[in-house]
Amino acid sequence: MVEVRRRENENSENLLRRFSRRWQSSGIGMRTRKERFFKKDFTKREKRIRALYRVEKHKEYEKLAKLGKLGEEHFRKGKIYQRRAF
* Rg, Å, the chain Cα set: 27
- Examine the domain organization and report whether 54 and 86 are in the same domain: yes
CA angle 34, 84, 31 (to 5 degrees): 5
**What is the pLDDT, as a whole number, of residue 37?**
84
- Examine the domain organization and report whether 62 and 86 are in the same domain: yes
**What is the pLDDT, as a whole number, of residue 13?**
92
Residues contacting residue 50 through CB under 8 Å, at least 6 positions apart? 42, 85
- SS3 per-residue string spanning 50-82: HHHHHHHHHHHHHHHHHHCCCCHHHCECCECCC
- Examine the domain organization and report whether 55 and 25 are in the same domain: no
Secondary structure element (H or E) that encloses residue 24, with its range: helix 12-26
DSSP 9: T
- Examine the domain organization and report whether 31 and 60 are in the same domain: no
Q: pLDDT, tens digit, for every residue of 15-63?
A: 999 999 988 888 888 888 888 888 888 899 999 999 999 999 899 888 8
Domain region containing 19: 1-39
- Examine the domain organization and report whether 48 and 86 are in the same domain: yes
- Examine the domain organization and report whether 65 and 28 are in the same domain: no
Question: Is the per-residue pLDDT at 79 higher than 70?
Answer: no
**What is the pLDDT, as a whole number, of residue 74?**
58
